[in-house]
């Protein structure tokens, strides 16, 4: 996974699973074994793109929309 794709996957997880900001994966990292990016919940910092979506209220909106689609 490229960094961009990994970040998109990170954000999708938060949308579809309805995580609170501190729950679930927090960032992406480059794996030394396979060279691709993976998600991590152990990062001390939150991914910038994820943080921006949370700050702007976009994450809440998308989570809300997703909740309605499920029923």
Per-residue contact flags (x/-) with Zn ion for residues 38 to 67, judged by CB under 5 A: ------------------------------
Rounded to whole angstroms, the Cα distance separating 31 from 13 reads: 19
Work out which of 20, 22, 33, 69 binds Zn ion, going by CB under 5 A: 33
CB distance 54 to 21 below 8 Å: yes
Q: Which of 5, 23, 30, 31 binds Zn ion (CB under 5 A)?
A: 31
Q: Does 34 bind Zn ion (CB under 5 A)?
A: yes
Q: How many other CB atoms sit within 10 Å of the CB of residue 37? A: 20
The encoded tokens of residue 67 equal 């909740």
Interface contacts to Zn ion, rule CB under 5 A = 31, 33-34
């Amino acid at each position: 996974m490229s960094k961009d794709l990994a970040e998109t996957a990170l954000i999708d997880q938060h949308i579809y699973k309805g995580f609170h900001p501190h729950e679930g994966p927090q960032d992406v990292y480059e794996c030394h074994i396979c060279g691709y990016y993976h998600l991590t919940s152990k990062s001390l910092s939150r991914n910038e793109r994820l943080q921006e979506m949370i700050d702007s209220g976009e994450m809440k909106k998308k989570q809300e929309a997703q909740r309605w689609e499920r029923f």
